[in-house]
C-alpha cells in the first residue's frame, strides 16, 4: 500500500512538472517563427500527460458535483420523511377525532331519547387485575353521581355505579358475576334475572321450561327493581338449553354493548327522584 502511495505521488509530481514546462515554453520566446527542437521534444513528451491532467480534473469536478448533489438529495429525503411523519400523525389525530365525534353523536341521540337526568363521562381506568369486571369514569359525587346509578352506552346498558369519590366513580359491568338485573324478554314479556357469567356474556335465570323463548329474542330492563328504568336494552338471547330434570331453562345472553371497547358513557342520575 505504501509502495502504491509513493508511486502515486511521483506520478502527480511529474504531471505537475509537465504542465509547468508546457506553460513555460508556451510563453518563452514567442518572437521566433519556428519552434525549437527542444521545445518540440517537450511538447511531444508532455502532451499525453496534459490530457490525463485535464481528464483527471474534469472527473474530479464531476464527482464532487455529484457528491454535493447526493448530499442535497439526502437532506431533501430526510425533510420529506419528517413531513410524511407529521402528516401521518395529523391523519391519525383526525381519524381519532372523527371516531370520537361519531361515538358522542350516538350518545347525544340516546340522551335525547331518554327523558332522565344524565351525566356524560369518559372511561379513565380499567382494573384488569381485580376479580370484578369494572372500570373507572371521570365523574363523581360533585357531578351528582351516586352509588347504584345505571350506566349506559350508545348501544345499551353497561352496568351500575358501585363506588363514588368526589371526581370519579367505579362502574360494575353487567357481565360481572356480581351483577344482577331484573329483566323482561321483550317479545313474550317473560321476566327473569340477568346475571354476569364469564366477563363476556350473561345468563338469564329463572325462566320456566314451559315458557317459549328463542335465540335472537331481545332482553330489556323491567324497571321493577328500582335501579334501571324500564325498557333499556341489555342484549339478546344467544343460546338456550332445556334440561329434563330442571325447572328452569339455561339461557345465555349476548350483551348489546361490547364492554371491552367502551370509551364514553352516560350515567342516569336521580332516577328514584324521577320515579317519585
Read off the pLDDT of residues 3-61 as tens digits, 9 standing for 90 and up: 444 556 666 666 666 666 656 655 555 545 555 555 565 555 556 655 665 666 677 66
Q: What is the pLDDT of residues 69-97, one digit of tens each?
A: 777 777 788 888 887 877 777 777 777 67
The angle formed by the CA atoms of residues 105, 160 and 234, to the nearest 5 degrees, is 65
Look up the pTM and report it: 0.61
How many CB atoms are closer than 10 A to CB 223? 17
How many CB atoms are closer than 10 A to CB 161? 22
Decide if 268 contacts 150 (C-beta within 8 A): yes
Task: Find cell 363506588 and name the residue.
Answer: 163
Residues pairing with 181 in the sheet: 194
In angstroms, the CA 28 to CA 255 distance is 105
In angstroms, the CA 153 to CA 257 distance is 7
Check whether domain 118-276 has CATH 2.40.10.340, yes or no: yes
pLDDT, position 10: 61
In angstroms, the CA 185 to CA 203 distance is 13
Residues pairing with 252 in the sheet: 203, 239
Q: 162 in helix, strand or coil?
A: strand
pLDDT mean across residues, the chain: 78
Of residues 107 and 6, more confidently modeled: 107
pLDDT over 70 at 275, yes or no: no
pLDDT, position 48: 62
The grid coordinates of residue 117 equal: 337526568
pLDDT, position 273: 45
Amino acid at each position: 500500500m505504501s509502495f502504491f502511495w509513493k508511486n502515486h505521488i511521483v506520478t502527480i509530481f511529474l504531471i505537475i512538472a509537465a504542465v509547468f514546462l508546457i506553460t513555460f515554453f508556451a510563453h518563452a520566446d514567442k518572437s521566433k517563427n519556428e519552434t525549437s527542437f527542444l521545445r518540440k521534444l517537450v511538447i511531444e513528451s508532455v502532451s499525453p500527460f496534459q490530457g490525463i491532467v485535464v481528464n483527471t480534473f474534469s472527473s474530479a469536478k464531476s464527482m464532487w458535483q455529484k457528491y454535493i448533489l447526493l448530499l442535497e438529495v439526502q437532506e431533501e429525503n430526510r425533510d420529506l420523511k419528517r413531513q410524511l411523519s407529521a402528516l401521518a400523525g395529523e391523519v391519525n389525530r383526525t381519524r381519532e377525532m372523527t371516531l370520537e365525534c361519531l361515538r358522542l353523536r350516538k350518545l347525544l341521540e340516546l340522551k335525547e331519547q331518554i327523558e332522565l337526568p344524565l351525566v356524560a363521562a369518559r372511561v379513565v381506568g380499567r382494573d384488569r387485575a381485580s376479580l370484578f369486571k369494572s372500570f373507572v369514569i371521570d365523574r363523581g359525587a360533585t357531578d351528582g353521581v351516586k352509588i347504584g346509578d345505571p350506566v349506559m352506552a350508545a348501544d345499551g346498558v353497561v352496568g351500575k355505579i358501585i363506588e363514588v369519590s368526589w371526581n370519579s366513580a367505579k362502574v360494575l359491568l353487567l357481565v360481572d358475576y356480581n351483577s344482577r338485573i331484573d329483566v323482561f324478554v321483550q317479545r313474550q314479556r317473560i321476566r327473569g334475572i340477568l346475571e354476569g357469567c364469564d366477563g363476556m356474556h350473561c345468563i338469564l335465570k329463572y325462566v320456566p321450561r314451559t315458557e317459549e323463548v328463542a335465540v335472537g329474542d331481545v332482553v330489556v330492563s323491567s324497571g321493577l327493581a328500582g335501579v334501571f328504568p324500564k325498557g333499556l336494552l341489555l342484549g339478546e338471547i344467544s343460546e338456550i338449553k332445556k334440561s329434563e330434570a330442571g325447572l328452569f331453562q339455561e339461557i345465555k345472553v349476548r350483551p348489546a354493548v361490547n364492554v371491552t371497547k367502551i370509551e364514553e358513557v352516560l350515567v342516569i342520575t336521580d332516577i328514584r327522584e324521577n320515579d317519585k
